[in-house]
Amino acid sequence: MSKVQKIALIGFMGAGKSTVAELLSKHLKWQVRHLDDEIVAKSGLSSIGEIFTTYGEEHFRNLESEVTASMQELNQVIIATGGGIINRHSNMVHLQHNYGAIIYLRVAFETVRARIGDSSNRPLFADPAVALTLYNQRLSIYERYADLIIDTDGHSQSEVCGKIIREMKL
């Protein structure tokens, strides 16, 4: 794979996208953008939980699409997406057209569950049974859009970062 200048990390909640994005950013000296943070900033509210309870998921998804579309001017950037970015094909088409690589951080549901438990800032993980259904529905969708799949179970986040650098020849 040739050298890329823009990377989007995708994967389920708790896959380590934000931490790995920070590690990659330090290593490559590229900027990092966390879509969830940008969404909260754009919403005028204080958290993702608040966006969901005040305006509902559809509003959150609209903001997510707007923020995704606003990232196209950036270069030498790693973006950490939210786990549901794959809900809209248009988001993924945008990433495919504007990003050098979409990297899927694959993780087992049990790892995620142990890692994040029932987080109040992850409305879609409030009920683990619902989250498991979502996880099973999404697995093949992440795979479909990924240029590179990294299995993260049993690996530290710095190992995951190292794997990406090697595989992408960065």
Structure tokens at 159: 């190992």
SS3 93: helix
Quick count: other Cβ atoms within 10 Å of Cβ 98?
16
Site for ligand S3P, residues 31 to 50, rule: CB under 6 A: 36, 48
For ligand S3P, which residue of 21, 83, 95, 150 counts as binding (CB under 6 A)?
A: 83
| The binder of ligand S3P chosen from 82, 105, 135, 164 (CB under 6 A) | 82
Distance between CA atoms of residues 160 and 151, nearest Å: 8
Q: Does 124 help bind ligand S3P (rule: CB under 6 A)? A: yes
Instruction: Indicate the SS3 state at residue 10.
Output: strand
CA dist 87 and 61 (Å) reads 8
Task: Single out the segment in contact with ligand S3P by CB under 6 A; choices: 22-30, 78-86, 91-99, 161-169.
Answer: 78-86
Rounded to a whole number of angstroms, the minimum distance from the CB of residue 4 to ligand S3P is 22
- Min CB(95)–ligand S3P separation in Å: 15
Q: What are the φ/ψ torsions at residue 93 (nearest 5 degrees)?
A: -65, -40
Q: How far is the CB of 78 from ligand S3P (least distance, A)?
A: 14
Handedness of CA 165, 167, 169, 170 (dihedral sign): negative
16 contributes a contact to ligand S3P by CB under 6 A: no
Tokens of 51: 């966006």
Q: Residue 123 or 128: which CB sits closer to ligand S3P?
A: 123
Using CB under 6 A, list all residues that contact ligand S3P. 13, 17, 36, 48, 82-84, 122-124
